[in-house]
Amino acid sequence: MNFSDWKKNKIQYSDFSDGFVYRETINNKCLPVVFKAKSTSLDLGEWYVANKSAVDEQLELYGACLFRGFNLNNMADFQKTAGRFLSKPAKYIQGATPRSELTANIYTSTEFPQDQEISLHNELSYVSNPPEKIIFCCLTAANSGGQTQIADMSVIHSKLDKNILDAFDRLGGWMLRRSYREGFGPSIFKSFNSENIEEVMDFANRENIRVSWVGDHYRTEQVNPVTKIHPKSNLPVWFNHALFWHSASLCPKVKERMLEVCDEETLPYNTFYGDGSQISEATIHQIRSIYKQEEVVFDWQEGDFMLLDNLRVAHGRKPFTGARTVLVSMGA
């Protein structure tokens, strides 16, 4: 099975034990693959174990699988199911966004203000061993909006201007600079999951993260390549937060508030070329335009469960109104 086979028909069906899968094109993109249960009493974790090879094949082909209509009603259901999908759950360490751990390895989705969009990103792209998979479960759908947009970053890599790719390679990749200022995101202690600065420093040294004290706050700087070679497909993947944390991506009102207490050099988050030089806003806008071309947006239904290949498919969140509960787990 390949992309062209799926594109020939709007919907295709294949039988599985106690369920079926159908391919539905959304915005003429090839993802996600949608698995729909024949019965709402069907346990997704058990069904996955029985059909693991087929599901894994689809995940390898497309990078995103959406499971709909299974028996998922609460956090306990999600935790049990997540345990079937992730043999090695991962902690959210070096987290740069507000997120709460509800129970072992189960987190809230990013707690950004609901009137703001969360841009596309691969989870923890800046750490040495990012999670291979990330899973989401919708317990309460928003009144409006709140979609999780996704995009295939191997496609985005193929569409980026060669001059952009060459510039990042020539200048040493990309740098994430974080200034841990009170009131703007998690503290350095929460981010590194330790209340001991020596433990934080030891961890940072092992991860090649530079930690310094600047005026009245800690700062970290870490450099990584912008491209990752996917371990299974061997395709180059645009894998970084260079766009996500660049100052040009900040909500203007939020940036205005931040600049009341700091300057561009000490913003809570900012990105640069690997050598520390500025990435132009024009470059950031070009990258963002490719993201917008490739993003796929779908409305959550309560009980939906989505599995992403985090090394290939990025995710984000659209603004929303009303209550919204989407749980997250990650690992391998």
For 134-144, how does the pLDDT look when each residue is reduced to its tens digit (9 = 90+)? 999 999 999 99
Round to whole Å and give the CA distance between 49 and 215: 53
Round to whole Å and give the CA distance between 223 and 70: 42
Residue 112 CB burial class (10 angstroms; 0-12, 13-18, ≥19): middle
For 160, other C-beta atoms within 10 Å of its C-beta total 16
The pTM for the full model equals: 0.91
Instruction: Evaluate whether 326 touches 109 at the Cβ level (below 8 Å).
Output: yes
pLDDT at 104: 86
pLDDT at 11: 41
Higher pLDDT, 277 or 99: 277
Q: What confidence tier does 71 reach under pLDDT thresholds 50, 70, 90?
A: very high
pLDDT at 59: 94
pLDDT at 23: 60
> Kindly report the CA angle at 100 between 255 and 80, in degrees rounded to 5?
140
Number of residues in the chain: 332
**What is the average pLDDT across 6-33?**
59
Residue indicated by tokens 């391998």: 332
In percent, the amount of the chain with pLDDT more than 70 equals: 92
Q: What confidence tier does 200 reach under pLDDT thresholds 50, 70, 90?
A: very high
CA 285 to chain CA centroid, nearest Å:
20
The two three-digit tokens of residue 243, written as one number: 């766009």
CA separation (Å) from 319 to 116, 242, 254, 324?
Answer: 5, 22, 15, 11
For 147, other C-beta atoms within 10 Å of its C-beta total 19
In percent, the amount of the chain with pLDDT more than 90 equals: 73
Higher pLDDT, 251 or 127: 127
